Amino acid sequence: MLKSTVYLGGLVLVGLIWASEACTSGNAAATSDGELPDVVSYNFDIRPILSDKCLVCHGPDANKREAGLRLDDPKSAFATLKEHPTAHALVAGKPELSEAFLRITSKDTSQMMPPPASNLKLSDREIRLIEKWIRQGARYEKHWAFVAPKKPSIPKVEKEEWVKNEIDYFILKKQEEKGLSPNEEADRERLLKRLSLDLTGLPPNLKMMERFLADNRPDAYERAVDELFKNPAYGEKMALHWLDLGRYADSHGYQDDGYRTQWPWRDWVIHAFNKNMHYDDFVTWQLAGDLLPNHTKEQLLATGFNRNHKITEEGGVIPEEYRVSYVTDRNDTFGKGLLGITLECAHCHDHKYDPFSQKEYYQLFAFFNNVSEVGIESVIGGPETYAKKPLMEISDDDVKNLLTFVNKQDTARLIVSVMGDLDTLRKTYILKRGVYDAHGDEVEPGTPAAILPFNPSYPKNRLGLTQWLFDRKNPLTARVYVNILWQEFFGRGIVKTSGDFGMQGELPTHPELLDWLAVDFMEHDWDIQRLVKKMVTSATYRQSAVVTSAKLKADPDNILLARGPRYRVHAEIVRDLVLSSSGLLNRTIGGPSVKPYQPAGLWEGATSGRGLLSTYNQDHGSKLYRRGMYTLIKRTVPPPSLAIFDASNRDLCEVKRLRTNTPLQALVMMNDPTVLEASRVLAARLLEEKTSEKDKISKAFRLIVCRKPTEKELEVLTGYFEQERKTLKRPAAEKTLAVGEYPIPAGVDRVRLAALMRVVTTIYNLEETITKT
């Protein structure tokens, strides 16, 4: 019984914390459940309640609207009620006359709102907030995310000496309001590891660590940032989030899941980040490169973005049904990835929470509906099926001259699916209930008016759509991308729901900071690297990640950032870190994806038996040691060791990965041949050096954890080494070493090697190793 009490207590605690977070995201940590703000804000306090509990029936969806009442629209909310011409849902200043208030406080189940059958219920606090809001005049505001950001002034702070750039003023201001103060800067070793993992996805090497530790110039840190920007691994690391967003994969998906050669597009993304292509061009090329006047082959290749979606090769499908699904995928990717809105909710009906009509969905759809494609072009087959029309061919000459960044490794024909429109416009209709052949009214290309009406001077095609997207008045584009990058570096977006800036999304924790960064980003021509630099050179980013129990209690989720970000790295980076620190990493950039070690039978067990990817033919030699991002992604059976660490399966646009902590991850780190082989190779290298065992272990630790071990840590590890060396028998040592294809140097003491290998594996398994700390 005692246990169940503890358990219930925990539950209630979580409930309260969550509830308060959801209601007061704007001033997250401290508001107690009872206190109401002095001025109740529609956007921050009331709209989340209405959106979550009321708008399903009293919101934008005309077909589901009850009693003709819209609570998201003041015109309707203040008007006389259809069914009670003497009453009004809201009467400013007078909750006791407001029918809406009377209903939410009614005890009569026939009157009560939300109705009991809805399974929705307002909390006492929510009811009191609504009451106070009505008393204060029931003032509506436009949803914050649909109002173009203005650059706010930099707030004044007390502890100005801590500040390094504008970001810090906004962050510190909030902390000071809540009585928190920031951490000191992290120690240099950990700071460099964090920075290097964030900018390149690779741990710093020993030389760089030494250099940074010895660099006493005041701008040593900025220099390190610039040095990492120059590393081509920067483009690879930055590409990762974009490959998720652009749902890049190496197979067509659907049932046969055949191979595709879309990787030159991936090579281009890496290239674009390394060239620091600005965000407006970067996206414009991808959405409309084929429509640019006198477009180049590179611009055409960029449009592969909109052909990364799954494409069926299942004989017997209805082609139009699938063609429509491809257009839908493009449209939804545009909504989620670039606008941060859940556009797909308006696919079958008007959006239930956000002001997007079904008609507007199909108006946007119209931009992507003119591609000269078919629902099914071919069933699974040979190289001619590796891309689908419209496609481009990349010749050896192209690679020599124009597309030098495409890592084409043989002379075979290379084709990539790209965009290309029909000469005559395909008509677009509203699809009733989203059904592919249930044509409703015909629509013209257009954009959701609540975001920004489509300027009639723009061409009504994808090129015009990019002009709309990068119109300075567009309230979403800059905010959404700034937020995605913030999430990448700080672990959590300023808007936590990075794919939903709509009314059901979370409110920004630092709205002014988000706006400042968004406007600053636009003012500097959408310069991505400049924005990244701003983030990683802030004092906020550079803080130590140490958390005291008081801070943990005050701000468990680190919303106020009074300590540095501390997160497990992405799946691909786990692999990169292991390969890089062991010296095994193959630094080739781009090219066809590779097939490293993988448990046997996974593809074979799930395949239809057709096509190149029906059996897993593992690669050998240096291809075993490529970065995680080059592991071949077969959509229906994604690479297991990456999937276990929450990599995207690339089925659909994804802007935020889960970050789980599971026993399977422990099993991967303990037993995956990749980790074991890297341990063996690193151990063998260390044994070849004429150093003491203690030094070898210390060096392994530095290479892997990116800092010098403490004496205590070294003691544990050397103790473990001695123990293993004493107890390991030769046959067991031989078996231990027999992992991976990389050769074992001749003449090495096998027992010693196996013992040291186990020590290295243990270091790989440290929590700190795969955590940016």
Partner 1 sequence: MAAHTPPPYKGGGRGVVLTMMEKEILEHGYNFNRRRFLSRLSLGLGSAALGSLLIPDLFKGGGSEDEAFTPGIPHFAPKAKRVIYLFQNGAPSQQELFDYKPKLRELLGKELPPSVRGNQRLTGMTANQSSFPLVGSFVDFKQYGQSGAWVSDLMPYTSKIVDDLCIIRSMYTEAINHDPALTFLQTGSQQGNRPSMGAWLSYGLGNENKNLPNFTVLLSRGIGNGQGVYSKLWSNGFLDSVHQGVQFSKGEDPVLYLRDPEGMDRHERRAMLDNLAKLNEMAYEEFGDPEIMAKVKQYEMAYRMQTAVPEVLDLSKEPDDVVKLYGPDCLVPGTYAANCLLARKLSENGVRFVQLYHQGWDQHGNLPFEIAKQAKDVDQASAALVTDLKQRGLLDETLVIWGGEFGRTSYTQGKLTKDNYGRDHHPRCFTIWMAGGGIKPGIVYGETDELGYNIARNPVHVHDFQATVLHQLGLNHEQLTFKHLGRRYRLTDVSGKVVRDILA
SS3 603: helix
SS3 754: helix
**Nearest residue (CB) to partner 1, 317 versus 399:** 317
The residue range among 126-134, 413-421, 682-690, 715-723 that interacts with partner 1, by the rule CB under 8 A, is 715-723
Binding to partner 1 (CB under 8 A): which residues in 473-532? 497, 499-500, 502-505
Binding to partner 1 (CB under 8 A): which residues in 356-395? 376
Widest CA span in the chain: 97
Binding to partner 1 (CB under 8 A): which residues in 666-695? 666-668, 670-672, 676
Per CB under 8 A, 609 contacts partner 1:
yes
Give the residue, chosen from 255, 395, 586, 588, that forms a contact with partner 1 under the rule CB under 8 A. Answer: 255
Please state the closest distance from residue 247 (CB atom) to partner 1, in A. 11
Give the residue, chosen from 99, 250, 256, 421, that forms a contact with partner 1 under the rule CB under 8 A. Answer: 256
**Nearest residue (CB) to partner 1, 198 versus 332:** 332
Give the residue, chosen from 443, 589, 739, 760, that forms a contact with partner 1 under the rule CB under 8 A. Answer: 739
- Give the per-residue contact string, 301-340, with partner 1 (x = CB under 8 A; - = no): -----------x-xxxxxx---------------------
Please state the closest distance from residue 492 (CB atom) to partner 1, in A. 10
Residue 632 backbone zone (phi > 0: left; psi -120 to 50: alpha; other: beta): beta
Structure tokens at 742: 């990389």
Number of alpha helices (DSSP H) and beta strands (DSSP E) in the chain: 32, 6
Binding to partner 1 (CB under 8 A): which residues in 579-608? 599-602, 605-608
Binding to partner 1 (CB under 8 A): which residues in 45-64? 51
The residue range among 36-44, 463-471, 522-530, 659-667 that interacts with partner 1, by the rule CB under 8 A, is 659-667
Per CB under 8 A, 353 contacts partner 1:
yes
Q: What DSSP designation does 695 have?
A: H
**Nearest residue (CB) to partner 1, 439 versus 524:** 439
Counting residues that bind partner 1 (by CB under 8 A) gives: 116
Per CB under 8 A, 754 contacts partner 1:
yes
SS3 96: helix
Residue 210 CB contacts under 8 Å (≥ 6 apart), including other chains: none
List the one residue out of 632, 614, 610, 638 whose CA is nearest residue 313: 610
Binding to partner 1 (CB under 8 A): which residues in 148-187? none
Please state the closest distance from residue 388 (CB atom) to partner 1, in A. 16
List the one residue out of 214, 204, 254, 247 whose CA is nearest residue 707: 204
Binding to partner 1 (CB under 8 A): which residues in 419-448? none
Contact yes or no for 489/535 (Cβ under 8 A): yes
**Nearest residue (CB) to partner 1, 418 versus 697:** 697
Please state the closest distance from residue 574 (CB atom) to partner 1, in A. 13
**Nearest residue (CB) to partner 1, 228 versus 644:** 644
Please state the closest distance from residue 728 (CB atom) to partner 1, in A. 8
Residue 588 CB contacts under 8 Å (≥ 6 apart), including other chains: 407, 622, 626
List the one residue out of 462, 293, 431 whose CA is nearest residue 368: 462
Q: What DSSP designation does 631 have?
A: B
> How long, in residues, is the chain?
773
Please state the closest distance from residue 637 (CB atom) to partner 1, in A. 6
Give the residue, chosen from 394, 545, 697, 760, that forms a contact with partner 1 under the rule CB under 8 A. Answer: 545
SS3 552: helix
Structure tokens at 690: 């004429």
Please state the closest distance from residue 119 (CB atom) to partner 1, in A. 6
Burial class (CB in 10 A: 0-12, 13-18, 19+), 729: exposed
The residue range among 167-175, 402-410, 441-449, 731-739 that interacts with partner 1, by the rule CB under 8 A, is 731-739
**Nearest residue (CB) to partner 1, 99 versus 250:** 250
Per CB under 8 A, 713 contacts partner 1:
yes
Per CB under 8 A, 345 contacts partner 1:
yes
Q: What DSSP designation does 40 have?
A: -
**Nearest residue (CB) to partner 1, 426 versus 553:** 553
Give the residue, chosen from 107, 712, 726, 746, that forms a contact with partner 1 under the rule CB under 8 A. Answer: 712
Binding to partner 1 (CB under 8 A): which residues in 622-641? 635-638, 640-641
**Nearest residue (CB) to partner 1, 90 versus 733:** 733
Please state the closest distance from residue 430 (CB atom) to partner 1, in A. 19
Contact yes or no for 351/61 (Cβ under 8 A): yes
CA distance 105 to 127: 8
Indicate if the alpha-carbon torsion angle 683, 686, 692, 696 is positive or negative: negative
Q: Cβ of 70: how many Cβ atoms within 10 Å? A: 21
Structure tokens at 499: 């794919």
Please state the closest distance from residue 557 (CB atom) to partner 1, in A. 6
CA distance 331 to 368: 7
Q: Cβ of 102: how many Cβ atoms within 10 Å? A: 15
Q: Which residues pair with 428 in a beta bridge?
A: 443
Give the residue, chosen from 80, 455, 660, 691, that forms a contact with partner 1 under the rule CB under 8 A. Answer: 660
**Nearest residue (CB) to partner 1, 176 versus 557:** 557
Give the residue, chosen from 724, 751, 753, 760, that forms a contact with partner 1 under the rule CB under 8 A. Answer: 724
Between the CA of residue 519 and those of 147, 239, 512, 641, what are the distances in Å? 13, 23, 11, 40
**Nearest residue (CB) to partner 1, 461 versus 497:** 497
CA distance 260 to 633: 10
Beta strand pairing status for 428-431 and 415-417? unpaired
Contact yes or no for 453/426 (Cβ under 8 A): no
Per CB under 8 A, 661 contacts partner 1:
yes
Structure tokens at 366: 């119209």
